[in-house]
Homo-oligomer: A and B are copies of this chain.
Amino acid sequence: MSAHRSGESQRRRRQARAAPGSPPGTLIAHPNAHAPTVRLMGYGPEGCEEHTLIGQDSLAGIRAAMTRFPVVWVDVEGLADLDLVRALGAVFNLHALALEDTLNTHQRPKLELYADHLFIVTRMIRAEQAPATEQLAMFLGHGYLLTFQAEPGDSLEPVRARIRQGRGRLRGGGVDYLAYALLDATVDGYFPVLESYGERLEALEGTVGANGGSEQIRAIHGLKRDLLVLRRAIWPQRELLHQMSRDSGAWVTDATRIFLRDCYDHVVQLTDLVETDREIAAGLVELHLSALNVRMNEVIKVLTVIATIFMPLGFITGLYGMNFDRISPWNMPELGWRFGYPLALMVMAGVVGGLLVYFRRQGWIGGAGRTKGRR
């Protein structure tokens, strides 16, 4: 996990952008970018068609589909082919900055209104790669939705299935409704991820303090970091959906706006979950530190009890181990007593007994059972 995460974050930081000072709109392919697959879906109330297009022929296929279907969704997976991106940009008159943002796959979710299209950036998550997220860029224009993703595989498959099967409103809706469906699938993809983080927090909550090692605080710290990453992906989606449902002008119909508001509510729930998890994680740090302290108290109590019992005993044995000349009757007469040794043993037993009573009254010792129970 940790190795994966730090790898992810370095990638983000290292190769995220063109050199400072490059002209805006400079298109640079990510060195590890995948070769593109272009998946075209055209559909309308009457039917739907699906093609996988290759290279420059894509453009002709897209144009053809747009004449036949009210809605055409062009999904480009893989961003290595700059010529293709430029060609699509030219066909649909996409703004150079939007194209740059499309290739630079570390944007925050946002909405931009251009003259010829809406530009939407959001971030998808897949449970197996969390907390890493993948950028999904959308251009919403007249009769088409153009999406770009960097990597193969996404969380949009259920939407494709709904188009194919003609379930729900998708076939009858416009491009804006398709964009909503993708955003909604993206947002819903975060719920299982946050569920799993919630479960990991609960698991930690149960074990924290049982073992005072430093792995626990590292695990909590790792969770906090991951939640920080998730939060950074989720919060701007809130703003994005708020803007979409309010400021998207004629690009979005009123009917779709109601759906976007519902999607907005889901993002609000996500932010709620993330913030709650963050507070719980902060509480775990407190629990952990308190447990460390309690354990140290226990250990020191044992040390003190042992030392307090054996030091006086050691003093007594040392006392009668002294070698003062017994010639003088003042020197260590106890050694000559008939019951000197038994008496000394009894004194020692008395010291031990008295101290045990004292410790029990102080609550420092309570029998083996209690000491165990406390741990």
Contacts and interface: CB of A to CB of B under 8 A. Distances in A.
A272 interface: yes
A258 interface: yes
A293 interface: yes
Interface stretch (A47-55, A77-85, A305-313): A305-313
Contacts of A116: none
Contacts of A310: 311-312, 314-315
Contact of A324 (B229, B295, B335): B335
A contact patch SS: helix
A20 B158 contact: yes
Contact of A296 (B13, B300, B325): B300
A237 to B, nearest CB: 14
A348 B155 CA distance: 68
Interface string A254-282: 00001101100100110010001001100
Given A162-B23, A296-B297, A302-B304, A285 B288 contact: no
B314 A304 contact: no
B20 A188 contact: yes
Given A272-B108, A300-B303, A291 B214 contact: yes
Contact of A297 (B188, B295, B322): B295
A17 B191 contact: yes
Contacts of A315: 310, 313-314, 317
Interface in A199-213: 199, 202, 205, 209, 211-213
Contact of A287 (B189, B217, B303, B307): B217
Interface centre among A14, A25, A199, A301 (most CB of B within 10 A): A301
A290 B289 contact: yes
Sort chain A's interface into a size bin. 35 or more
A71 to B, nearest CB: 16
A322 B158 CA distance: 84
A307 to B, nearest CB: 6
Given A195-B13, A324-B340, A332-B341, A108 B318 contact: no
Given A169-B23, A265-B110, A279 B13 contact: no
Contacts of A294: 212-214, 217, 292
Interface in A87-108: 95, 97, 101, 106-108
Contacts of A225: 280, 283
Contact of A269 (B25, B108, B321): B108
A306 B303 CA distance: 9
Contacts of A297: 212, 292, 295-296, 299
